[in-house]
Amino acid sequence: MLFNSLSFALFLSVVFVVYWYLTNNNLRLQNILLLAASYFFYSCWDWRFLFLLIFSTLLDYFTGIKMQDAGSKISRKNWFWLSIIVNLGFLGVFKYYNFFADTFAEVMSHAGIEVNPFTIQVILPVGISFYTFHGLSYVIDIYKRKIIPEYNFVDYAVFVSFFPLLVAGPIERATHLLPQIKKPRVFDYAKAIDGLRQILWGLFKKVVIADNCAVIANRIFDLSDDLSGSTLLVGALFFTFQIYCDFSGYSDIALGTARLFGIELLRNFAFPYFSRDIAEFWRRWHISLSSWFKDYLYIPLGGSKGGTWMKIRNTIFIFLVSGFWHGANWTFIAWGLLNALYIIPSIVLNTNRNNMDIVASGKYLPTAKEALSIGTTFILTLFAWIFFRSDSISSAFTYITNIFKPSLFTIPSIRSSNLFLLLTFFTIVEWICRNKKHCLEFDHHLFVKPLRITIYLVLTYCILFNLKFHEESEFIYFQF
């Protein structure tokens, strides 16, 4: 059940009505409803994967309690490692087993030994990387005594499987989400309206921008060997906007949907393409994943407390793991390594925390220096996305090499003037709203009600006009 489908609109409407009007604000009934709705939502993908989700939830629920009740450090540690190993084991089997098997066979073939690896034919359970990380953070926090375990299974299960974030995040923390699940909730009209606005903006980014960029980007990447350098650059540009609008659009819909039920999820994007350096970009892109790796890997490895070489080592490791988290392909690892190489100079020069504020705050335009920094960071990110999008490292290098042909200075062979205008309009709107949570968070004294309604109607028309009712378009991050 996709967020950009009529079936989800119907599902959300039914759950919303029952949640607020039939549960009589009874917290226990509300949470039971959210859990049932979340399991139904997930089973719509493949009901067999629901059992894996429930098993993972039960595992972490019981090991959390067992760690708390353990009579010795050894017993506590055993329960901790049981959860870690089983969780990562499932993730490894479903997501990475075939990759390692094929890689081993390839390495052995270079040594002159032919190996026929045993591979498994299984569909990757949707959202497994996300809900596994929910459980891991919960178990780690209990082990480190940052939190105590949740004894109410329904409340904990809602934390893991709350349907707005179940498939592609944001990756929540128990310290942030569980207190909201356990707290009585009453309908807040202003919060619900703002949630609907964020859903509308997320749908616009996904359906109108990302899906239209995808059509041209896919065509260019599929035919890259026969196209001019300028056309390949356009393809990379469109994919750069596609992946941002696709994933941040999903996050907007998730956050807006959660707000309809009185719950605030972690922000996942903060206008990353206006970043002035790569360090700032990663503070603004997929924030929940970046902060997860910082808290549960980077800091335990020593973080920034050691010397420069330790910082570089830790940074490279985190970006390699981040790349591998995205998928079982060397292209993702190369993408992670490239981003690590981008950020290392700022670590060496100790400038990686120079840009912590909003760019050009309180101004209409950036300074020439800020504009140059934003442009440079955007171009570096664009070329990194080529590795993310390509099928292999060699095809990524070929794509980049073919960009820098004399044909780079010719007119692109694919005409997309309307899409360029749309992206220009979108970028201007995002720039104006860069200090807000989302672009429909209006200042009511500037946007009177008739103007706001007109904007809502125009966006709704654009979404319905571009929505492919007969061919649903999945979100990119569903594959992770």
- Residue 156 near residue 61, CB atoms below 8 Å: yes
Closest-CA residue to 132 (of 91, 79, 183) = 91
Q: How far is it, in rounded angstroms, from Cα 276 to Cα 369?
A: 9
Q: Is 470 a catalytic residue?
A: no
The SS3 of residue 405 is coil
Q: Rounded to whole angstroms, how far apart are CA atoms 339 and 32? A: 42
Compute the CA torsion angle 173, 174, 175, 181 (nearest 10 deg).
Answer: 120
Q: Is the peptide bond before 184 cis (omega within 30 degrees of 0)?
A: no
Instruction: Give the whole-angstrom CA distance, residue 263 versus residue 335.
Output: 34
Q: For residues 474 and 158, what is the distance between their CA atoms, to the nearest angstrom? A: 24
User: CA angle 128-129-134, nearest 5°?
Assistant: 95
Catalytic residue among 134, 286, 326, 438: 326
User: What is the C-alpha separation between 342 and 332, in angstroms, rounded?
Assistant: 15
Helices (H), 116-204: 128-143, 153-161, 163-166, 174-182, 189-203
Beta strand residue intervals within 23-180, DSSP E = none
Separation between Cα atoms, residue 96 and residue 347, nearest integer Å: 31
Q: How far apart are CA 328 and CA 324, in angstroms?
A: 6
Query: Among 89, 73, 98, which Cα is nearest to 136's?
Result: 89
Q: What CA–CA distance (Å, rounded) separates 478 from 124?
A: 10
Torsion, CA 60, CA 64, CA 69, CA 70, rounded to 10: 80
Residue numbers annotated as active site: 326
